[in-house]
Amino acid sequence: VVLKPSIAKVNAFFLLQTAMCVSIGGAAFYFYTDTPEEYPEGPHFSIVFYSSGMGLAGIVCAIIGLYLYQRYAVRLSYRTTLFAFSLLWTV
């Protein structure tokens, strides 16, 4: 299957953008849940609190993001929206 060049370029962009993104989720989990013996200066959250707290924070942020998109970005062109949210994602 051969893609149109415009679609192939967008796919290549998303592939490169995702490949260049550094993920620290695993390291953050251990940082937040280490015991005082493992890392004395850490926050020492329980695994249940960290998992449920991060999930709840993610849901709240998603709802806020949906509201802000519907309020301000729904009238923007696809190109402007893609550029703005890609820029926000990298920050």
What is the tens place of the pLDDT at every residue in 16-34? Answer: 988 888 889 899 999 999 9
pLDDT at 60: 98
Query: Residue 45, by phi and psi: left (phi above 0), alpha (psi -120 to 50) or beta?
Result: beta
Give the separation between CA 32 and CA 47, rounded to whole angstroms: 9
The mean pLDDT value of the chain amounts to 91
Q: Can you tell me the mean pLDDT for 28-49?
A: 94
Q: Say how far residue 71 (Cα) sits from the centre of its chain.
A: 21
Residue 61 has pLDDT above 90, yes or no: yes
Q: Can you tell me the mean pLDDT for 55-72?
A: 94
C-alpha dist (Å) from residue 3 to 8, 11, 12, 24, 39: 6, 10, 11, 33, 51
